[in-house]
């Protein structure tokens, strides 16, 4: 049952990928400017080179041919070559783990904190605790993460010296074992903190709102009447249902998660996919943009399948195949 | 009619409010004037990331508006901007047609010589040269050509002077200012020069350390282009100047002399001669240099490199500067003879400095088809080099790590390891410099943020002395534009630029007005020619009249009449209100 569901979803992924990547390809080519002119303008190169380079890169072929060639190469694992000769695969490979690490860890922590505080605030609705938490959430939600990042660096890295300033020296020192893990954590914590502060409030408010709504529901009153303890009431009955909208919210932010957060990456010099994508887009490096988009969409599809499975686990009413159950 | 104080106040307030509401649009007198009488209107494109230029354009826009010229400023991302201004299909079009009317950017140099004039042409836009403004001036072109055909520095200086005079008579851009950048390097690093980036890293020393100590210097750059080879990587790329320059030397190199000028000194070539007719340059190469794979460095390497660059099939952008080379011969293993079609004074600067390329090994590049030269090396382990440093680590878009080459023919460099890290955000880079996590910030970080931190960085032991940057910021014109084509219009605009305000407000005093494309640090700088940009509205109007644009009578009278009418109407209305109010009271 589950296996068939996953198989169908993966099969549907192929047309999704094709549609999304062809849209991106189209957008890239419609935008003014082309990579060769951008490349040569800075070096004031001569005209003959322009024609040669256009031929070498295959940009003289019609658009649909270029696209299908690219698609064909994908199936053989070749994501193309960037304007400067580096294979796109190695550009992405050197950065994708950093993006995944930062984003996934920050999402887990955000969801955990949101669930913990959201349930608490929802249960003790109206109390001073609830009011404080909601206010803090509003603060975290409103403060621009760019500014927060710079302030964090100023206070904790420059003045107090607890963390390194940004991650540009990540990987430079050769430490092993426990020391290297601690080192890595020191680089990870500043952007992680800022991301968590930026992300948690949104999930918190969502969860709190659903808890408040659910606690008024009949089945909760029934459980209480049955004599179930407070903790069981919140945890077993309310929370599971409250997680449904939260899961939806996480599902819809998958794009933001896997696209890499450009602002955070710039502020902390984090070697992730966001800076790669933006730099490539500005330089009109078509294959890099296509490659990063392809990987991002792939990750989104895989994680959205996983989220749907989590969804079904939380809410027994939603299963795959329906009637057979 | 008797009014109490309260009523009087109420009526006065109403009057005042009505007056202000009616008068507010006319408080922006200048805009109204410009829009009413904008006799000339055009769009100026500024690429994003060039904030000083944008700030200067805003000041110029205001000044032009006061005098009847409307300049709309548009910011475009650098990719779009370069494509429009340089692209073959677009550079001749006006902004509305998809090109540009005016642009604001830099004209930049390499310090040793007039290198940009090597590929710039002042006459139309033949395939060989570039001329994004479509300048078409025979005399200017002749002067530039004459300056190329002789090797005598005094003669060349004379021709560049003549060129600048003609340029001021018929400018293709208005030169605004030359600007200074702070050194932004730890004070104990000696011989670092922001203009040379890492090209002279071999000469760097650190106070308090010795040759035997393991010395590491870390340099921050805001972006990189991921090149690992000296052919494509060198031409005008930050990656070339700062990451791979010390790895791939050329025949000559730049050296800062004690008097502040730059000259070309021997690097891989021990010496050279130029023939009497100026058509032959003979280089004598150093002996006993080995590539990192053990092969000897010979004249064949030079020949393969340059012949490859001259072949369009390799796609190396440097072709533009090397066009005059007719043939390259190697009579023996250590002699290279370049034969030129015409005398070409810039050929030495092209073969030296680091703006063109570095020499590649013939035993590798000579054996592969030239179409495969681009991107041939993608891993540091593949590189075969013979410079003072070698690339030991390369993470695309993140860092380059260079280590001293123990077999370098000039001896072991003082600095053993150079780490070049990419920090995109200026504020982060400044924090890192303050805390000591990086030692040098390259000149690309210079801007208002860095200037604001001047004193705190100096307190942290960073050398923030200023260096004149080899660039001229300009406001350029697309000479295909029907209005801007007229040189009187351009000269009129040149006389409406409050250059002192720009230098004080935008550059905080760190710059000086420019008189032409050539910058003061160059031997050819015509110091006796005054700056072109100034604020002289009388002269500007005279030029506009010569151009055939007459300014209609000013609106000032009309505006005053309008304000007067509003005042009278206001008073009448006020009295009327007062009358009605008092009548009402009376009636009660």
- Interval B144-194: pLDDT, tens: 989 989 989 899 999 999 999 999 999 999 999 999 999 999 999 999 999
Question: For the residues B470-484, what does the mean pLDDT come to?
Answer: 93
What is the SS3 assignment for A242? Answer: helix
Distance CA B181, CA B189 (A): 17
What is the predicted pLDDT for the residue at A196? 93
Average pLDDT over residues B262-268: 87
Mean pLDDT across the stretch A6-12? Answer: 86
Give the residue-averaged pLDDT of B112-116. Answer: 73
CA distance B314 to chain A (A): 8
Looking at the complex, does the CB of residue A40 fall below 8 Å from at least one CB of chain B?
A: yes
Question: Are A166 and B226 a contacting pair at CB < 8 A?
Answer: no
**Beta partners for B43?**
B72
The answer to whether residue A82 neighbours chain B at the CB level (below 8 Å) is: yes
Of residues B544 and B23, the one with the higher pLDDT is: B544
State the average pLDDT for chain B.
86
β-bridge mates for residue B473, sequence order? B106, B177
- Kindly report the pTM of this predicted structure: 0.84
Give the span between the Cα atoms of B525 and B99, in whole angstroms.
Answer: 32
- Decide if pLDDT at A10 tops 90: no
pLDDT, tens digit, 9 for 90 and up, residues A42-74: 666 666 777 888 888 888 888 889 999 999 998
Which candidate, B440, B438, B442, places its Cα nearest to that of B463?
A: B440
pLDDT-based confidence at B334, cuts 50/70/90?
Answer: very high
How far is the CA of B288 from the CAs of A241, B295, B296, in angstroms? Answer: 79, 10, 7
Helix (H, G, I), strand (E, B) or coil at B130: strand
**With 70 as the cut, is the pLDDT of residue B34 above it?**
no
Q: How many CB atoms lie within 10 A of CB B13?
A: 11
Over residues B226-261, the pLDDT tens digits come to 888 888 766 667 888 888 889 988 898 888 888 877
B6 at the A interface (CB within 8 A)? no
Q: What are the pLDDT digits (tens) for B363-394?
A: 999 999 988 888 888 889 999 999 999 999 99
Dist CA B469 CA B166 (whole Å) = 25
To the nearest whole Å, the CA of B40 is away from the closest chain A CA by: 27
Length of chain B: 588
Cβ distance of A157 and B431 shorter than 8 Å: yes
Question: How much is the pLDDT for B124?
Answer: 65
pLDDT for residue B383: 93
Q: Does A160 touch chain B (CB under 8 A)?
A: no
* CA end-to-end span of chain B: 15
Highest mean pLDDT among A169-173, B37-41, B440-444: B440-444
Sequence-distant contacts of A281-285: CB under 8 A, at least 24 apart? A281/A28, A282/B77, A282/B78, A282/B79, A283/A35, A283/A38, A283/A39, A283/A83, A283/B79, A284/A28, A284/A31, A284/A33, A284/A34, A284/A35, A284/A38, A284/B79, A284/B83, A285/A35, A285/A82, A285/A83
Cα A301 to Cα A295: distance, rounded to the nearest angstrom: 10
Q: Helix H segments across A216-317?
A: 218-226, 230-232, 240-252, 254-258, 262-268, 273-282, 286-314
Q: Which residue of B has its CA nearest to A30?
A: B80
Whether residue B149 contacts residue B324, with contact meaning beta carbons closer than 8 Å, is answered with no
Q: What is the DSSP string of B91-116?
A: TTS-TTTTS-SEEEEEEE-BTTB-TH
Nearest to B147 by CA among B281, B356, B350, B343: B343
Question: Does A45 contact B320 at a Cβ distance shorter than 8 Å?
Answer: yes
pLDDT digits (tens, 9 = 90+) for B478-508: 999 999 999 999 999 999 999 999 999 988 8
pLDDT class of A325 with cuts at 50, 70, 90? very low
CB pairs < 8 Å spanning A and B:
175
In which band, very low, low, confident or very high, does the pLDDT at B439 lie, cut at 50, 70 and 90? very high
A76 class by beta-carbon count within 10 Å (0-12 exposed, 13-18 middle, 19+ buried): exposed
Task: Tell me the β-bridge partners of B41.
Answer: B70
Check CB contact of A162 with chain B, cutoff 8 Å.
no
Shortest CA distance from B239: residue in chain A: A84
Q: Which has more confidence, B489 or B318?
A: B489
Q: Which helix (H) or strand (E) holds B40?
A: strand B40-47
Cβ distance B127 to A43 less than 8 Å, yes or no, reads no
Q: Which two tokens stand for residue B428?
A: 């982060």
pLDDT in tens, A212-240: 888 777 666 776 677 666 666 666 667 77
Closest CA in chain B for residue A81 = B375
- At A296, list the tokens: 């991002």
Residues of B in contact with A48 (CB under 8 A): 127, 312, 319
Q: Are B519 and B471 in contact (CB under 8 A)?
A: yes
Residues in B touching A172 (Cβ below 8 Å): 399, 401, 419, 421
* Res. A323 pLDDT band, cuts 50 70 90: very low
Kindly report which listed range (A53-62, A166-175, B338-347) carries the lowest average pLDDT score.
Answer: A166-175
pLDDT above 70 covers a percentage of chain A that reads 87
Nearest to A211 by CA among A148, A309, A277, A133: A133
Taking alpha carbons only, the member of B8, B253, B231, B167 closest to residue B487 is B167
The whole-angstrom separation of Cα A269 and Cα A191 is 10
Using a CB–CB cutoff of 8 Å, tell me whether B560 touches chain A. Answer: no
CA–CA distance from A96 to each of A17, A107, A258, B419 (Å)? 18, 16, 9, 23
Parallel/antiparallel/unpaired status of strands B417-422 and B216-221:
parallel
pLDDT greater than 50 at residue B131:
yes
- Candidate from A43, A56, A283 with C-beta closest to B235: A43
Question: Is 70 exceeded by the pLDDT of residue A99?
Answer: yes
Does residue B369 contact residue B129 with C-beta atoms inside 8 Å? no
Question: Are B86 and A37 inside 8 Å of each other by CB?
Answer: yes
Residue A149 has pLDDT above 70, yes or no: yes
Backbone angles phi, psi at B335, to 5 degrees: -130, 130
Judge: B80–A271 Cβ closer than 8 Å, yes or no: no
Contacts (Cβ under 8 Å, ≥6 apart) of B420? B198, B218, B219, B220, B221, B224, B242, B243, B399, B400, B401, B402
**Beta-carbon count within 10 A of B286 CB:** 16
| ipTM given for this complex | 0.86
- B218 with A169: Cβ contact below 8 A: yes
**Model confidence over A180-209: pLDDT tens digits?**
888 889 999 999 999 999 989 999 998 888
For the cut 90, the answer to whether the pLDDT of residue B264 exceeds it is no
Whose tokens are 């690093």? That residue is: B189
Interface of B with A in 442-501 (CB under 8 A): none
pLDDT at position A94 is 86
pLDDT category of residue A324 using cuts at 50, 70 and 90: very low
HEC readout, chain A: CHHHHHHHHHHHHHHHHHHHHHHHHHHHHHCCCCHHHHHHHHHCCCHHHHHHHHHHHCCCCCHHHHHHHHHHHHHCCCCCECCCCCEHHHHHHHHHHHHHHHHHHHHHHHHHHHHHHHHHHHHCCCCHHHHHHHHHHHHHHHCCHHHHHHHHHHHHHHHCCCCCCCCCCCCCCCCCHHHHHHHHHHHHHHHHHHHHHHHHHHHHHHHHHHHHHHHCCHHHHHHHHHCCCHHHHHHHHHHHHHHHHHHHHHHHCHHHHHCCCHHHHHHHCCCCHHHHHHHHHHCCCHHHHHHHHHHHHHHHHHHHHHHHHHHHHHCCCCCCCHHHC
Does the structure show a pLDDT above 60 at B446? Answer: yes
B374 touches A: beta carbon within 8 Å: yes
First to last CA, chain A: 10
B-contacting residues in A 194-253 (Cβ below 8 Å): none
CB contact under 8 A, A284 and B423: no
Taking a C-beta distance cutoff of 8 angstroms, is the pair B241, B371 a contact? no
| Cβ–Cβ contact B411 with A under 8 A | no
What is the pLDDT, as a whole number, of residue A44?
Answer: 63
What is the pLDDT at residue B441? Answer: 96
């Amino acid at each position: 049952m589950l296996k068939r569901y996953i198989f169908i979803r993966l099969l549907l992924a192929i047309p999704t990928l094709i549609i999304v990547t062809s849209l991106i390809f189209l957008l890239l080519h419609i935008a003014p400017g082309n990579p060769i002119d951008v490349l040569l303008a800075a070096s004031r190169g001569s005209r003959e080179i322009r024609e040669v380079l256009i031929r070498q890169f295959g940009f003289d072929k019609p658009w649909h041919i270029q696209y299908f060639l690219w698609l064909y190469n994908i199936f053989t694992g070749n994501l193309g070559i960037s304007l400067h000769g580096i294979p796109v695969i190695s550009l992405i490979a050197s950065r994708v783990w950093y993006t995944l690490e930062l984003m996934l860890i920050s999402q887990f922590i955000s969801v955990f904190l949101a669930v913990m505080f959201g349930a608490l605030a929802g249960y003790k609705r109206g109390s001073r605790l609830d009011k404080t938490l909601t206010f803090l959430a509003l603060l975290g939600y409103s403060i621009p993460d760019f500014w927060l990042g710079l302030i964090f660096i100023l206070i904790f890295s420059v003045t107090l010296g607890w963390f390194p300033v940004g991650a540009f020296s990540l990987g430079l020192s050769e430490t092993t074992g426990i020391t290297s893990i601690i080192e890595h954590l020191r680089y990870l914590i500043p952007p992680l903190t800022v991301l968590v502060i930026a992300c948690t409030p949104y999930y918190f408010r969502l969860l709190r709102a659903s808890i408040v709504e659910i606690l008024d529901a009949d089945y909760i009153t029934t459980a209480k009447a049955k004599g179930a303890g407070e903790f069981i009431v919140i945890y077993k009955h309310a929370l599971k249902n409250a997680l449904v909208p939260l899961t939806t919210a996480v599902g819809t932010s998958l794009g933001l998660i896997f696209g890499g957060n450009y602002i955070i990456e710039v502020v902390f010099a984090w070697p992730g996919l966001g800076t790669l994508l933006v730099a490539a887009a500005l330089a009109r490096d078509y294959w890099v943009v296509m490659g990063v988009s392809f990987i991002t969409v792939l990750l989104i599809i895989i994680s959205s399948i996983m989220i749907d499975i989590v969804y079904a686990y939380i809410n027994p009413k939603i299963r795959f195949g329906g009637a057979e159950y | 009619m008797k009014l109490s104080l309260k009523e009087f106040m109420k009526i006065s307030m109403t009057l005042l409010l009505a007056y202000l509401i009616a008068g507010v649009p006319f408080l922006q007198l200048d805009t109204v004037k410009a829009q009413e009488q904008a006799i000339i209107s055009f769009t100026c494109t500024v690429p994003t990331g060039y904030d000083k230029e944008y700030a200067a354009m805003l000041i110029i826009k205001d000044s032009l508006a006061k005098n009847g010229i409307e300049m709309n400023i548009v910011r475009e991302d650098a990719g779009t901007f370069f494509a429009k201004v340089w692209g073959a299909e677009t550079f001749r079009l006006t902004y509305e047609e998809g090109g540009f009317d005016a642009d604001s950017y830099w004209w930049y140099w390499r310090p040793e010589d007039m290198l940009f004039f090597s590929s710039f042409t002042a006459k139309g836009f033949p395939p060989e040269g570039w001329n994004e403004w479509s300048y078409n001036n025979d005399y200017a072109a002749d002067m530039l050509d004459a300056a190329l055909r002789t090797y005598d520095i005094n003669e060349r200086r004379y021709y560049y002077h003549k060129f600048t005079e003609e340029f001021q008579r018929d400018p293709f851009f208005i030169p605004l200012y030359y600007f200074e950048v702070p050194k932004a390097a730890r004070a104990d690093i000696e011989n670092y020069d922001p203009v040379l980036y890492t090209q002279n890293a071999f000469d760097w020393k650190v106070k308090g350390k010795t040759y035997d100590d393991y010395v590491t210097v870390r340099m921050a750059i805001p972006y990189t282009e991921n090149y690992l080879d000296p052919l494509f990587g060198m031409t005008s790329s930050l990656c070339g100047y700062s990451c791979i320059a010390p790895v791939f030397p050329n025949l000559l190199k730049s050296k800062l002399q004690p008097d502040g000028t730059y000259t070309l000194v021997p690097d891989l070539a021990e010496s050279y001669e130029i023939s009497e007719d100026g058509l032959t340059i003979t280089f004598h190469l150093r002996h006993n240099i080995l590539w990192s794979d053990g092969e000897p460095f010979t004249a064949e390497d030079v020949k393969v490199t340059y012949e490859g660059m001259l072949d369009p099939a390799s796609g190396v952008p440097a072709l533009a500067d090397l066009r005059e080379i007719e043939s390259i011969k190697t009579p023996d293993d250590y002699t290279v003879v370049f034969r030129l079609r015409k005398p070409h004074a810039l050929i030495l600067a092209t073969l030296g400095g680091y703006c063109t390329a570095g020499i590649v090994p013939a035993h590798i590049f000579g054996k592969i088809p030239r179409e495969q030269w681009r991107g041939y090396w993608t891993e540091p382990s593949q590189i075969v080099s013979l410079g003072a440093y070698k690339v030991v680590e390369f993470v695309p878009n993140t860092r380059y790590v260079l280590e001293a080459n123990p077999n370098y023919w000039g001896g072991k460099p003082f600095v053993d390891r150079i780490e070049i890290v990419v920090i995109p955000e200026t504020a982060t880079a400044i924090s890192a410099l303050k805390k000591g996590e990086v030692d040098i910030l390259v000149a690309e970080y210079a801007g208002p943020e860095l200037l604001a931190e001047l004193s705190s960085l100096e307190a942290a032991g960073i050398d923030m002395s200023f260096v004149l940057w080899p660039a001229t910021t300009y406001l350029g014109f697309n000479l295909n534009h029907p209005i801007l084509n007229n040189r009187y219009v351009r000269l009129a605009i040149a006389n409406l630029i409050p250059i002192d305000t720009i230098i004080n407000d935008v550059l905080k005093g760190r710059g000086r007005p420019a008189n032409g494309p050539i910058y003061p640090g160059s031997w050819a700088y015509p110091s006796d020619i005054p700056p072109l940009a100034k604020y002289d509205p009388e002269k500007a109007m005279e030029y506009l009249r010569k151009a055939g644009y007459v300014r209609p009578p000013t609106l000032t009278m009309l505006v005053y009449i309008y304000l007067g009418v509003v005042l009278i109407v206001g008073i009448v209305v006020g009295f009327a209100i007062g009358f009605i109010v008092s009548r009402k009271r009376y009636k009660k």
